[in-house]
Structure formats: structure tokens, C-alpha cells
């Protein structure tokens, strides 16, 4: 399974795109659509480069979903998880209660776990509250 066009648009909308490197809310250098792996202070990229990084990052995050989730997912569930992992990383998925519930086929309990992941740097962030609510809605009802 792959992230759908609608799922990619969802992630793009939530991440936003900045062509000059900046530090996110916890001080991590970021560029493009939330790309952190190679971002550094003073870096700039083109829109085309931002798009390439986005698709590379999504592909990398899909590998985590495919590796750790061993139940059947709807496209909406997959897209919601793609956004979740894009934002939080595969390591957080791997150790999450969301994953435990999901692999136990308790989809309702898994959906509720999106609401837990609303903190960055120890602070509850309104933007994360809204994003997780949107991801949960996508997970439960599709796009």
C-alpha cells in the first residue's frame, strides 16, 4: 500500500513548505515540507527540490508502516498513519500504544491514541492537537 494523492496533499497542507531552513518548535533544523534529515542552518532549496524531498521522506516513512503494522488498513487509515509517522518518525510509531492497539485489531482504541501525541518539547501544542484530530478523523472515516 502507498500513501494516496489525497494523503500526500493532507501531509503537505499540515507541514507547509519553507524553502529556507528554519528551526521547528523544538529547535530541529527543517526545510521544505518538514524535511529534517539533511536540513541545516542557512540552507535553501527550490520548490522542485522540496517536492523531491517530500516524496523521498514519505517513501521512507511508508517502510515503517509496512514493517510494523501487520493488519489490513483502509486507504484512509494508511494515509492518517503516513502523516503521523511523517510528523513523529517511525521510532515513535514502533514504541506507541497506537501500534499495539492497531496490531491487536482494536481500531477504535488505536484511533483514540492519536489524541495522545500532541506534545513537542514537553509542551502541548495547539497545532498538534488540530493535526491529530484531523489524522484521527481520516483514520476513522477516510478523507
* Calculated CA dihedral for residues 59, 64, 66, 72, nearest 10 degrees: -120
CB distance 33 to 15 below 8 Å: yes
Residue 135 annotated among the catalytic residues of the structure: no
* Inter-axis angle of helices 47-68 and 75-88, nearest 10: 110
Q: How many angstroms separate the CA atoms of 112 and 121, rounded? A: 22
CB distance 102 to 110 below 8 Å: yes
Residue-wise burial string across 26-43, b where 16 or more C-beta atoms lie within 10 A, e elsewhere: eeebbbbbbbbeebeeeb
CA 104 to chain centre: 22
Q: Which of 15, 56, 135, 140 is catalytic?
A: 15
CB distance 124 to 118 below 8 Å: yes
- Catalytic sites, residue numbers: 15
Amino acid at each position: 500500500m502507498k500513501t494516496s494523492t489525497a494523503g500526500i496533499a493532507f501531509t503537505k497542507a499540515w507541514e507547509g513548505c519553507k524553502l529556507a531552513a528554519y528551526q521547528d518548535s523544538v529547535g530541529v533544523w527543517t526545510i521544505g515540507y518538514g524535511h529534517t534529515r539533511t536540513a541545516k542552518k542557512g540552507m535553501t532549496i527550490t520548490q522542485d527540490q522540496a517536492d523531491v524531498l517530500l516524496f523521498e521522506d514519505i517513501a521512507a516513512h511508508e517502510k515503517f508502516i509496512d514493517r510494523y503494522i501487520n493488519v489490513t488498513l483502509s486507504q484512509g487509515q494508511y494515509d492518517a498513519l503516513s502523516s503521523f509517522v511523517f510528523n513523529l518518525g517511525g521510532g515513535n510509531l514502533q514504541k506507541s500504544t497506537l501500534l499495539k492497539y492497531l496490531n491487536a485489531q482494536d481500531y477504535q482504541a488505536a484511533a483514540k491514541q492519536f489524541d495522545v501525541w500532541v506534545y513537542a518539547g514537553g509542551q502541548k501544542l495547539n497545532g498538534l492537537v488540530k493535526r491529530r484530530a484531523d489524522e484521527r478523523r481520516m483514520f476513522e472515516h477516510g478523507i
